[in-house]
Amino acid sequence: MTAIYVDADACPVKAEAERVATRHGVRLFVVSNGGLRPSQNPLVETVIVPDGPDVADMWIAERCGKGDVVITGDIPLAAKCIEAGAQVLKHNGEFLTQANIGNVLATRDLMADLRAADPFRQGGGKGFTKADRSRFLDALERALRKASSSA
């Protein structure tokens, strides 16, 4: 049975994921280490994991598999989920796949090294836009159709 897993810490599309999951009648797991208001939706399970590095990521990676969709901006988590057979979406609607995860991991590592080498190269990045939200909704619809046909 298809499920959606949301790496919910700092996720800007939790409400959108819930709407799409409800429309499709799919279970949605919203995983974080706290600070979230639980949904009253019976399809949504708020999972609060203990504090600690990558505890929410490990919870998701241990449970997702073929036919599931994972929403995360965490690239190492995405790699684990892809390996488990899940479809992975970033919050802006970008699909992470077996074909592109290697390059995305390498870019992430390079940027971390550049930030560590230059203390003035911190933060930045683009803000989350309405276009990103729209791309995400479209991508989640496509991912769910594909996941339900492969489950």
What is the value of pTM for the model shown?
0.86
How crowded is residue 83: how many other Cβ atoms within 10 Å of its Cβ? 11
What distance in Å separates the CA atoms of residue 34 and residue 84, rounded to the nearest whole number? 26
Q: 148: exposed, middle or buried (C-beta count within 10 Å: 0-12, 13-18, 19+)?
A: middle
Over the stretch 39-96, which tens digit does the pLDDT of each residue have? Answer: 999 999 999 999 888 899 999 999 999 999 999 988 899 999 999 999 999 999 999 9
3-state helix, strand, coil in the chain (%, to 5): 45, 15, 40
Looking at residues 120-135, what average pLDDT do you find?
78
Please check whether residue 12 is in contact with residue 71, taking contact to mean a CB–CB distance below 8 angstroms.
Answer: no
